[in-house]
Structure 1
Amino acid sequence: MRAVVRVAWLMVRHELRLLASLVLWAARRTHGTAAGGRAFGYARGQGAMIFGFGFVCVVESLTMSVLLRDWPTVHHVVLLLDVYTIVIVVGMHAASVTRPHVLEPDGGLLRIRRAVHVDVRIPLERIASVRRELRTVHERTDGELHVAVGAQTSVTLHLTEPVPHVTFFGRRREVRVVRCHADDADALVRAVTQARDGLLRRA
Structure 2
Amino acid sequence: MKQDEGALRRLAAHEGRVLRSFGLWLGRRRPQVGPDGRAFGYASPQAATVYGLAFVCVVETVGVSFLVRQWPVVHAVLFVLDLYTVVLVLGLQAAAVTRPHVLTPDALRLRAGARVDLLVPLDLLASIRRELRFQGAGGETPDHVLELAVGSQTSVTMELTRPVTHVPLLGPAREVSVVRFHADEAGELVRALRAAVAP
Give the TM bin, normalised by the shorter chain.
Answer: over 0.9
User: C-alpha distance in 2, partners of 1:7/1:120?
Assistant: 18
- Asked whether 1:110 is paired with 2:119, we answer no
The offset of 1:2, in angstroms, is 3.8
Aligned to 1:165: 166
**Contact 2:11–2:169, Cα closer than 8 Å, also in 1:** no
Aligned to 1:76: 76
- Asked whether 1:48 is paired with 2:48, we answer yes
User: C-alpha distance in 2, partners of 1:119/1:90?
Assistant: 20
Moved more, 21-30 or 118-127: 21-30
Unpaired runs of 5+ residues, structure 1, are none
The offset of 1:5, in angstroms, is 3.2
User: C-alpha distance in 2, partners of 1:4/1:118?
Assistant: 19
Aligned to 1:141: 142
Aligned-partner SS, 2:146: strand
Aligned-partner SS, 1:159: strand
Unpaired runs of 5+ residues, structure 2, are none
Instruction: For residues 12-50 of structure 1, give each alpha carbon's deviation from its aligned partner in whole angstroms, at most 9, with x where no partner exists.
Output: 211111111112112211142124210000001111000
User: C-alpha distance in 2, partners of 1:102/1:19?
Assistant: 21
The sequence identity of aligned pairs, in percent, is: 50
The offset of 1:79, in angstroms, is 0.6
The offset of 1:70, in angstroms, is 1.1
User: C-alpha distance in 2, partners of 1:170/1:123?
Assistant: 24
User: C-alpha distance in 2, partners of 1:3/1:128?
Assistant: 34
Aligned to 1:183: 184
Moved more, 169-178 or 53-62: 169-178
User: C-alpha distance in 1, partners of 2:36/2:24?
Assistant: 17
Q: How does 1:31-70 map to 2 (within 5 A)?
A: 31-70=31-70
Q: Output the aligned Cα RMSD.
A: 1.3
The offset of 1:109, in angstroms, is 0.3
Aligned-partner SS, 1:30: coil
The offset of 1:170, in angstroms, is 5.7
User: C-alpha distance in 1, partners of 2:127/2:3?
Assistant: 39
Aligned-partner SS, 1:69: coil
Q: What letter is aligned with 1:99?
A: R
